[in-house]
Amino acid sequence: MSAAVTVWVILLALVALFSWRLGALGTRSEERRHAAAVARRFGLPAGAVDQAFVRRVARRQRFVQTGVLLGLIVTTFVDAWLVPLYAGLALGAVADQLATPRLPPDTPRVAHATDARLRAYVPEWLLVAAAAAAACGPALAVLWAVAPTTEPRALHPEISTIETVALALASLGGLAVSLGLARFVVRRPQAAGSPADLAVDDAFRAQAVRDALHITAVVSLATCFVLGLKETEIGGSLRHVGGMLPVVLLLGIPAAGILHEFTAGPKHWRRRLGRETATG
């Protein structure tokens, strides 16, 4: 093993260890307050905040922090905007779902009587918005390909035609990865021993799905901005369209996030699945 690789391994191990400890640093009362805030945001009843829930929140926090920190390190060394950071966030959330302990075989269990799909966990408009954001990159690439051009065309020769196509595909790839991770989370078996357990798991699944959608947001934004550099090569009125798309995305993505919070998006799962698990 070369010295550089050894340094990397040690560095990553330290970061993982640090982030793991970070999640456990808070005092018990702070952890409980944080868990209560999480429960309120998810629309869980106050009674859901027991010791198991506090531990569940702390565990998720550790996984997400580890993912974000690892993503941050990769972001420092790889020129990929903040994509690794958000990928780390999403993968941390998925890893947290994978770490959900199994129930002993002789334990009573409960399950949803209806087929809980992606739309049960996040509002449909959020999925449509994610698809629209992912379509912006390909739209810019098509615009650049079909619109009348200014002369000279190669104002940004560093972005070749092949790279343009690759960026457009990367935008769609971001959506595919997001939806793939989200579906993976939603389709995993739920091990719940009571309606309250099932509700808590639903709430964390919904959060993991939202975290997975962050990948689409950041990949779409990155590809759209890079492709937006070619907007100067577009002639005629379509040039304004090409110039506006990255701006629309830059404003639209935070707006979608805010709208999601204000329309009780984190509690969406409860409207769709909560009747079955109503615990108070």
Partner 1 sequence: MIGYDPRSPVPPYEQVRAQLARQVQAGELTPGTRLPTVRRLAGDLGLAVNTVARAYRELERDGLVVTRGRNGTVVAAGPDESVALDAAADYAARVRGLGLSTERALELVRGVLEASDPGPPRPAAG
Give 69 or 198: the residue with its C-beta nearer to partner 1.
198
Give 95 or 110: the residue with its C-beta nearer to partner 1.
110
Q: CA-CA distance, 58 to 36, in Å (whole number)?
A: 12
**Of 275, 7, 230, 262, which Cα lies nearest the Cα of 123?**
262
Give 28 or 102: the residue with its C-beta nearer to partner 1.
102
Nearest-approach distance from CB 106 to partner 1, in angstroms? 5
Contact 218, 137 (CB under 8 A): no
Nearest-approach distance from CB 251 to partner 1, in angstroms? 37
Report how far apart the first and last C-alpha atoms of the chain are (Å, whole number): 57
Nearest-approach distance from CB 145 to partner 1, in angstroms? 37
Nearest-approach distance from CB 107 to partner 1, in angstroms? 7
Give 114 or 161: the residue with its C-beta nearer to partner 1.
114
Contact partners, residue 117, CB within 8 Å, separation at least 6: 186
Give 163 or 276: the residue with its C-beta nearer to partner 1.
276
Which tokens hold the place of 79?
Answer: 């020129």
Which tokens hold the place of 32?
Answer: 């409980």
| Residues at the site binding partner 1, with contacts judged by CB under 8 A | 103, 105-116, 187, 189-192, 195, 198, 276-277
The 3-class SS string of 213-253 reads: HHHHHHHHHHHHHHHHHHHHHECCCHHHHHHHHHHHHHHHH
Question: Cβ atoms within 10 A of the Cβ of 51, count?
Answer: 11
Give 209 or 253: the residue with its C-beta nearer to partner 1.
209
Amino acid at 134: A
Give 45 or 195: the residue with its C-beta nearer to partner 1.
195
Nearest-approach distance from CB 195 to partner 1, in angstroms? 6
Nearest-approach distance from CB 114 to partner 1, in angstroms? 6
188 by Cβ neighbours in 10 Å (0-12 / 13-18 / 19+) ranks as middle
Nearest-approach distance from CB 276 to partner 1, in angstroms? 4
Contact 252, 165 (CB under 8 A): no
